[in-house]
Amino acid sequence: MKTRNFLTVAFFAFTLFGTTATFAQKEKTVTVGGAPMYPSKNIIENAVNSKDHTTLVAAVKAADLVETLQGKGPFTVFAPTNEAFNNLPKGTVETLLKPENKKLLQTILTYHVVAGKMNASDIAKAIKAGGGKATLKTVSGGTLTAWMKGSQVYLTDENGKSAQVTIADVNQSNGVIHVIDAVVTPKS
């Protein structure tokens, strides 16, 4: 009788945990920075696992934006890679991470965020509707201009600098991330 009860409990546990594992495995993930990005997790929960976004995560923490980006959203985040930050003039990142520059850092980071969820197809439609360009209003109050070259989406900031979307449609529970290869900045 004890063996039968044990087998029943074991079967129940396997079924319960097996179903949970199967559910997690069925999520359509995108790999960013060597880590799967789960649509059931929020922007911060996923970003902290990307080895290509450690500088961005450090900046978000220094700017006290973690709670915001864990919020309901939805948000469209254009996420620069570590390499994008490394391409800034020497000392820029270190200067921005200083407590006295928190407001400026917040402005730059929120310039990479658009309210609402815009997948690549939404951006492409907006570009087409705009005759080849779409103006995206950022959370910081600035604008980014989206445009395409072939099938590639680019963003141009208010200073004329462009960034290419290198990985699109990384869906999150509170929006979407598009990985970009440059840091974009608002008009100074």
pLDDT in tens, 112-148: 999 999 999 999 999 999 999 999 999 999 999 999 9
Distances (CA, A) of 99 to 33, 62, 74, 75, 83: 28, 7, 28, 25, 23
DSSP state of 67: H
Sheet with 152-156: strands ordered across: 113-115, 75-80, 175-180, 162-172, 152-156, 143-149, 134-137
Predicted pLDDT at 27 = 84
* Mean pLDDT computed over 74-90: 96
Element (H, E) at 36: strand 35-37
Confidence of residue 23 (pLDDT cuts 50, 70, 90): very low
Tell me the domain boundaries of the chain: 29-180
The amino acid at residue 56 is L
Among residues 140, 134, 132, the alpha carbon closest in space to that of 75 is found at 140
Does the domain formed by 29-180 have CATH 2.30.180.10?
yes
Convert the pLDDT of each residue in 25-53 to its tens digit: 578 899 898 899 999 999 999 999 999 99
β-partners of residue 75 are 115, 175
> What gap in Å lies between CA 164 and CA 144, rounded to an integer?
12
DSSP state of 184: -
Convert the pLDDT of each residue in 141-161 to its tens digit: 999 999 999 999 999 999 999
